[in-house]
Amino acid sequence: MSQKLEFIPQHETFVAECRGIDWSKPITKEIKDEVQKGIDKYGVLIFRDTGLDDKRHIAFAALFGELDDMSPHVKVGRKLRLPDVEMFDVSNIDPDDNLITTSDPARIAMMKGNALWHSDLAFNSRRSGYSILRGHQLPPKGTGGETEFLDARQAYDDLSDEMKKRLDGLVGNNSMWHNRKLAAPDYYKELEPLDYPMSKHKLVTNHPATGRKMLFTTSYVHHIDGMSFEESQALVQPLLEHAGQPKYVCRVEWLNDGDMIMWDNTAVMHRAIYEGSYFGKYRRDMRRTTSFDMGPEAYGLNDPNKIVRQGLNPVQTDKIAEPDTRAPDTQAPAIKV
């Protein structure tokens, strides 16, 4: 029996709420295919009140591509709050279950960095495809914690022909530390992002399912091949301002525990809203699965045989943290947490 899903657009060009999935039943191939069509078209799908737990959230995510996970961090002794390595912890809670406060500047820098436009894990050599974020426990209504998305395909389409030509073939060097330094310049004054590995992805990438191009100029882009840092930022920052105009942006509110949002990191950018009054007071327990980009540009211009991964949540709390950079199977030096 066919179960037709309903997609209710939330913006003129992207983002839809998807209704009609019975989350208490297994996800059939038919439903999966419809969700796939929906995410290809809208770039962001909102599922309300899923009632999913971590295991079923992970099982749903695994239908849409190979999952990235936190196992490299566990291997080097990182303590995780959540038992499943496929779950990325995007909460304001530390591994000992305490609320994060402003007394932890490295974590604050990480959270502020998350409030800059980005595409998940673009600083790794294999970039992300779909992120699926579930509000396991939301802060009280009216205390903030919304998430914003921007339509990076539409933002690209609307560029002048001259700018499109200028961007053609340009390669960005993506750095997690650059993003954090932008977010917390005083705290990371001494940190030089160039001392750490970066990953190379083109500034304009193709979306395989639709053939549309995307502006991949996230806040991780430190510099562009062949250009100085200053020249690169003078190109990238105005592009981010262009893409961040209200007409390309959709702010999504989290309404109830169990709400879940799926987005395509190869079509949209997103950011957390940092200013929420919940911060330091209420738990915002957000849990995310992240699949790899399964398309031909997943590795950008990086060597697929030389995997580069940079540190993920939970952020290290030592003053200037070591990035997590190694081939998956080699023993990495212990990192202080």
Question: Out of 16, 61, 155, 286, which residue is the one contacting ligand OGA (CB under 6 A)?
Answer: 286
**CB-based contact 289:57 (threshold 8 Å):** yes
> Shortest distance, CB of residue 279 to ligand OGA, whole angstroms?
12
Q: Which two tokens stand for residue 25?
A: 């039943």
- Binding status of residue 86 toward Mn ion by CB under 5 A: no
Hey, which residues between 64 and 93 contact ligand OGA (CB under 6 A)?
A: 90
288 binds ligand OGA (CB under 6 A): yes
Write down the least CB distance from residue 4 to ligand OGA, Å.
Answer: 29
Q: How far is the CB of 47 from ligand OGA (least distance, A)?
A: 15
In the bound complex, what is the minimum distance in angstroms from residue 5's beta carbon to ligand OGA? 24
Structure tokens at 302: 């990086």
- Residue closest to Mn ion, measured at CB: 120
165 contact partners, CB below 8 Å, separation of at least 6: none
Q: Please give the residues from 223 up to 282 whose contact with ligand OGA meets the rule CB under 6 A.
A: 270, 272
Q: Read off the DSSP letter of residue 83.
A: S
Residue 54 buriedness (CB in 10 A; 0-12 / 13-18 / 19+): middle
Q: Three-state SS for 96?
A: coil
**Smallest distance, Å, CB 244 to Mn ion?**
15
The one among 21, 100, 133, 155 contacting ligand OGA by CB under 6 A: 133
Q: Which does 302 bind (CB under 5 to 8 A by kind): Mn ion, ligand OGA, none?
A: none
Site string for Mn ion, 117-136 (x = CB under 5 A): ---x----------------
Identify what 78 binds: Mn ion, ligand OGA, none; CB under 5 to 8 Å per kind: none
Helix/strand/coil percent split, the chain, to 5: 25, 20, 55
Answer for the pair 212, 14: CB distance below 8 angstroms, yes or no.
no
Pairing of strands 16-19, 44-47: parallel
* Residue matched to tokens 């200013």: 275
Q: What is the dihedral of CA 301, 302, 305, 310, to 10 degrees?
A: -160
> Beta partners for 132?
262, 289
Q: Please choose which of ligand OGA, Mn ion, none residue 272 contacts, taking the beta carbon within 5 to 8 angstroms, the exact cut-off set by kind.
A: ligand OGA
Least distance CB 270 / Mn ion (angstroms): 6
Here the tokens at position 85 are 């390595």
Binding footprint of ligand OGA on the chain (CB under 6 A): 90, 114, 120, 131, 133, 147, 270, 272, 286, 288
Binding footprint of Mn ion on the chain (CB under 5 A): 120
